[in-house]
């Protein structure tokens, strides 16, 4: 997709639509369809940034980390010309060589081997949560009762942070994900409170706060061994608290919504509980809790027949790529018979979600617990979206289940 002598033959397709408007955030699929149809790369006139919405294009750009860097920030702000609002993440907002050591440390700590002993505990926790919810009745808000309740019950304990103040986690993440977008109504709404939330989050990353035996402790132990520096450790703990809460809440919301609206899929899962894993990845494909991230060009790059100049921001529409009919037949359908692997809901390449095994284990535990007790799931009212500049999320999801 790149050439050594950049040439571009065609004028770049341009749109004045605002992907960060309330209307598009509430219902992004029609906009994403227009974006994919407009071309491989489209100029978002309003912001002076580029956008990619097709699967092949997004995937290729994500794989080309040298041409499309992350270290200028993966939000709309270019860290080389504007100061970031918090110290950059050593993972998300870094590239090789600086990215390598933090990434290697975290991928071992959050890898499938390390999670093996957590799996039976989280399954028991999920079974217990589902029992508690069903004891209260068979009608509930699936967002608060399940999608928020389960990650908040297991993940902060797994990191090893104190109980006190955990109410800061969701609003911190919500504002952080808003802050990757422009300073619109969502950012303005969160800005007055972010100091308080960020202050608490940053304090929990200190060694003295972290309990023995969890992910946080493992990060500090890596610093003791010299795999990372002591100055890097708290920032890597911060990544867990930044990226690990809202994302899994909305992933679980996505999978619950998908099952509630695809009863055939729930019946299949009940027949074969091992489908919980594919259901999770199919829900990530379908809903992409992280909808978008930016990259920044490090030189002039030709994509298709347009030239993206050096040092431009490009918005990668992960959710749109996962709905590209050029790659996915019947993309809107939650289909447990398809192979969703290759979706870009976790990104692709060197930055691909390092926490995905944790997220998958959370979702599989909860879905498995539900499948053990619930015959059918339905919505008993219109679920409401929670708007965020980056996240695809539910605010409420009125649900009724029938026990088996």
Of 39 and 234, the one with the shorter C-beta distance to ligand OVP is 234
Contact pick of 77, 232, 239, 320 for ligand OVP (by CB under 6 A):
239
In angstroms, what is the minimal distance from the CB of 194 to ligand OVP? Answer: 14
CA pair distance 9, 88, nearest whole angstrom:
37
CA pair distance 25, 288, nearest whole angstrom:
13
Contact pick of 57, 89, 291, 320 for ligand OVP (by CB under 6 A):
89
Of 63 and 268, the one with the shorter C-beta distance to ligand OVP is 63
Query: Considering the rule CB under 6 A, would residue 389 count as an interface residue with ligand OVP?
Result: no
Q: How many residues sit in the footprint of ligand OVP (CB under 6 A)?
A: 10
DSSP characters for 141-192? Answer: EHIIIIIIHHHHHHHHHHHT--STTGGGHHHHHHHHHHHTS-S-HHHHHHHH
* CA neighbor of 295 nearest in space, from 65, 100, 46, 45: 65
How far from each other are the two terminal CA atoms of the chain, in whole angstroms?
Answer: 53
Site string for ligand OVP, 168-197 (x = CB under 6 A): --------x---------------------
Query: Considering the rule CB under 6 A, would residue 41 count as an interface residue with ligand OVP?
Result: no
Give the interface segment with ligand OVP, choosing from 19-27, 128-136, 156-164, 234-242 (CB under 6 A).
234-242
Of 36 and 238, the one with the shorter C-beta distance to ligand OVP is 238
Give the interface segment with ligand OVP, choosing from 53-61, 87-95, 259-267, 367-375 (CB under 6 A).
87-95
In angstroms, what is the minimal distance from the CB of 246 to ligand OVP? Answer: 9
Residue 293 near residue 91 (C-beta atoms within 8 A)? no
* CA neighbor of 92 nearest in space, from 341, 314, 293, 233: 293
Among positions 288-327, residues that touch ligand OVP (CB under 6 A) are 290
Give the interface segment with ligand OVP, choosing from 85-93, 183-191, 275-283, 296-304 (CB under 6 A).
85-93
Query: Considering the rule CB under 6 A, would residue 243 count as an interface residue with ligand OVP?
Result: yes
CA pair distance 183, 162, nearest whole angstrom:
32
Query: Considering the rule CB under 6 A, would residue 358 count as an interface residue with ligand OVP?
Result: no
Query: Considering the rule CB under 6 A, would residue 247 count as an interface residue with ligand OVP?
Result: yes
In angstroms, what is the minimal distance from the CB of 171 to ligand OVP? Answer: 14
In angstroms, what is the minimal distance from the CB of 202 to ligand OVP? Answer: 12
* CA neighbor of 281 nearest in space, from 326, 251, 249: 251
Residue 312 near residue 50 (C-beta atoms within 8 A)? yes
Specify the long-range contacts of residues 75-78, CB closer than 8 Å, at least 24 apart.
Answer: 75/179, 75/180, 75/181, 75/293, 75/294, 76/47, 76/49, 76/180, 76/181, 76/182, 76/294, 76/313, 76/315, 78/296, 78/311, 78/313
Query: Considering the rule CB under 6 A, would residue 91 count as an interface residue with ligand OVP?
Result: yes
In angstroms, what is the minimal distance from the CB of 247 to ligand OVP? Answer: 6
* CA neighbor of 51 nearest in space, from 26, 93, 8, 15: 15
On the CB side of 297, CA atoms within 13 Å amount to: 17
CA pair distance 53, 352, nearest whole angstrom:
18
Of 57 and 247, the one with the shorter C-beta distance to ligand OVP is 247
Among positions 53-72, residues that touch ligand OVP (CB under 6 A) are none
In angstroms, what is the minimal distance from the CB of 150 to ligand OVP? Answer: 19
Of 19 and 73, the one with the shorter C-beta distance to ligand OVP is 73
Q: What are phi and psi of 244, to 5 degrees?
A: -100, -5
Which residues here bind ligand OVP, judged by CB under 6 A?
A: 89, 91-92, 176, 238-239, 242-243, 247, 290
């Amino acid at each position: 997709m790149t050439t050594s002598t950049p040439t571009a033959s065609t004028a770049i397709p341009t749109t004045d639509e605002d992907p960060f408007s309330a209307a598009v955030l509430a219902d992004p699929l029609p906009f994403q369809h227009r974006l994919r149809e407009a071309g491989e790369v489209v100029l978002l006139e309003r912001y002076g940034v580029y956008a990619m919405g097709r699967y092949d294009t997004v995937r290729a750009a994500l794989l080309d980390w040298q041409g499309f860097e992350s270290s200028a920030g993966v939000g709309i702000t270019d860290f080389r010309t504007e100061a970031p609002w918090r110290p950059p993440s050593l993972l998300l907002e870094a590239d090789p060589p600086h990215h390598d050591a933090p990434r290697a440390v975290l991928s071992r700590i959050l890898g499938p081997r390390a999670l093996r002993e957590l799996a039976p505990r989280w399954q028991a926790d999920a079974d217990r949560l589902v029992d508690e919810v069903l004891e209260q009745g068979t009608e509930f808000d699936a967002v608060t009762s399940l999608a928020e309740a389960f990650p908040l019950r297991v993940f902060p304990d797994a990191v090893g942070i104190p109980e006190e103040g955990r109410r800061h986690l969701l609003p911190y993440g919500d504002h952080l994900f808003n802050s990757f977008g422009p300073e619109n109504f969502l950012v303005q709404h969160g800005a007055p409170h972010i100091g308080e939330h960020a202050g608490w989050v940053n304090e929990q990353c200190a060694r003295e706060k972290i309990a023995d035996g969890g992910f946080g402790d493992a990060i500090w132990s890596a610093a003791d061994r010299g795999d990372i520096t002591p100055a890097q450790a708290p920032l890597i703990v911060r990544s867990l608290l930044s990226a690990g809460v809202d994302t899994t809440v909305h992933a679980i919301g996505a999978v619950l919504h998908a099952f509630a609206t695809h009863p055939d899929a729930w019946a299949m899962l009940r027949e074969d509980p091992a489908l919980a894993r594919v259901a999770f990845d199919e829900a990530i494909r379908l809903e992409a809790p992280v909808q978008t991230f930016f990259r920044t060009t490090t030189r002039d790059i030709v994509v298709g027949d347009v030239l993206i100049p050096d040092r431009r921001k490009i918005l990668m529409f992960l959710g749109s790529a996962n709905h590209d009919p050029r790659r996915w037949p019947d993309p809107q359908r939650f289909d447990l018979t398809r192979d969703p692997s290759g979706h870009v809901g976790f990104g692709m390449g060197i930055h691909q979600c390092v926490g995905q095994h944790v997220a998958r284990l959370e979702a599989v535990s909860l879905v498995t617990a539900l499948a053990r007790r619930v015959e059918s799931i339905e919505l008993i009212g219109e679920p409401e979206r929670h708007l965020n500049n980056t996240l695809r999320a539910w605010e409420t999801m009125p649900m009724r289940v029938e026990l088996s």
